[in-house]
Amino acid sequence: MATSPSEHNSDTLRPILRKAILAYHSILKNQEISILKREIYRVCDNGFSTQEIAFPRYRVYRENALREALNQEDVRYYLDYIWEHIVSKRIDLKSDSSWNLIALRERIDDPISRVLEEAAIDEASDTGKVTLWRLPDESIDLLVEEEFSRTLSGKHKYVAYCPLGYVSGEKGSSWSLSDNMKLRILTHEERARYLSRHHDKFLWHDFVSRDHVGICAILEIYGEIRFKEYQNQVSDVVEEEIADMIDIVKWALMLCANNSMPLVEGTNIYQNVLGGSFCTTGTGSFRRQDKTIGSDYKLNNIDMNRVKELIKNAQKVISISNDVKNAFWFWSRSTVAALNRDALVEAVVGLESLLIGKGTELNHRFKLYGTAILAASESEVEEVAKKLGDLYAARSSSVHGEKKEKQIQEVTEARYYLSKAILKVIDLCERKLIDPSSSIGHQLEKFVLRKSLIL
């Protein structure tokens, strides 16, 4: 009688998987391998230098090795085991040679190929040479854990690397922002490895130019997805998830740094942790922003515990409130817009959608509800109301194609007010003064009316 996966996790599945991986690696070491030239970045006295290295092509289809592995005892036992105890309980198929071949490639060959390639890149970046078929013990441990997790959950894990420009801080610093996000300032050696792995995916000024070396951090994002739920839209779904998380982090850092300018983004890169493909190239990338001018963020001076708190609260409210989710979407579009007029419109529309939704007398309600949650004291009421009125007028002018001299200042103010409005609404939700599952605008209207009595 077949036992359940939960009865075969750590004590049985891990050692079976490890034996299969090592057996397949032994088969690979006897295979011929083609060599090509690859550009590698290395640390030097003046920053970085590039060097062409004779590099092994690990990520290729090796039919002979796969066929041989299917008859290897440890590999065969692993495939039979996961079929009997796990896979057959999820899908209505018969185990045959075609399934075994696909499973072998997805569960062992792809992950090993990626680990071999990354180990070779790191060695080449550090030493200028490559040891063929080198598979570090720590990489085997990680590979076993990741494949073990995927086998039981059915989910593919991905990791994304998102460069954020114009930051300063101690090299090697790292901050955990949530269970699945980490912000890091790379050391010179780590940056050289990053460049060696991904330099074909981003523009030169993202990471290498004189203006950006030393003032770029990497936001690492980890997520997971079931391929079968999204068919051919996996990369689109992953990119949306990554973008949403970047937005929340940028918003939280902007508020905690008390900075009116959002962080500048580079090219975002993502890949399957186990080496499978989200897209035809295996490693995906997308770029949302072309501007490279930003404002300095001193990361070591920011209260990262407060950043974590804002991220946690924002994610909680966004999961319930479409109004707050849409406000973040407009905020995001405002931060990456190429033109100031577009950024202004996005920010003000974001404020409008959050504060009042649909209805009449929009200008008046925009000022009234916005002032109610943005003014910190009675002395600020008239100033905030006037600025909101000016921003709404500027938004209307931009929509109708009119140019204004103060547009840059208005963009900064509109984006700042939208950031603060989102924060205040999240705070009101946390204090249970607003229900995130209902219209935020309608609740703000009632809130203002209750506070407007003259007694």
Tokens of 316: 């909680």
Phi then psi for residue 227, to 5 deg, are: -60, -45
pLDDT at 128 over 80: yes
- Predicted confidence at residue 389, as pLDDT, reads 77
pLDDT at 403 over 80: no
Domain extent listing, the chain: 1-154, 159-319, 320-451
How many whole angstroms separate alpha carbon 81 and alpha carbon 79?
Answer: 5
- Predicted confidence at residue 412, as pLDDT, reads 87
Work out the angle at residue 125's Cα, subtended by the Cα atoms of residues 124 and 126, and round it to the nearest 5 degrees: 90
Local structure of 404: helix, strand or coil? coil
CA dihedral 288, 292, 298, 299 (to 10 degrees): 30
Residue length of the chain: 455
How many whole angstroms separate alpha carbon 36 and alpha carbon 231?
Answer: 34
Which among 144, 148, 315 has a CA at the least distance from the CA of 241?
Answer: 315
How many whole angstroms separate alpha carbon 212 and alpha carbon 220?
Answer: 19
Which among 119, 122, 123, 113 has a CA at the least distance from the CA of 136?
Answer: 119
Q: What is the mean pLDDT of residues 158-177?
A: 91
How many whole angstroms separate alpha carbon 331 and alpha carbon 351?
Answer: 9
Going by pLDDT thresholds of 50, 70 and 90, the confidence category of residue 318 is very high
pLDDT at 113 over 80: yes
Q: Which range has highest mean pLDDT (180-184, 269-273, 402-406, 435-439)? A: 180-184
How many whole angstroms separate alpha carbon 371 and alpha carbon 393?
Answer: 16
Quick: pLDDT tens for 6-38. Answer: 455 557 899 999 999 999 999 999 999 999 999
- Predicted confidence at residue 334, as pLDDT, reads 93
Quick: pLDDT tens for 209-264. Answer: 434 445 688 999 999 988 766 666 888 889 999 999 999 999 999 999 999 889 98
Phi-psi region of 283 (alpha: psi -120 to 50; beta: other; left: phi over 0): beta
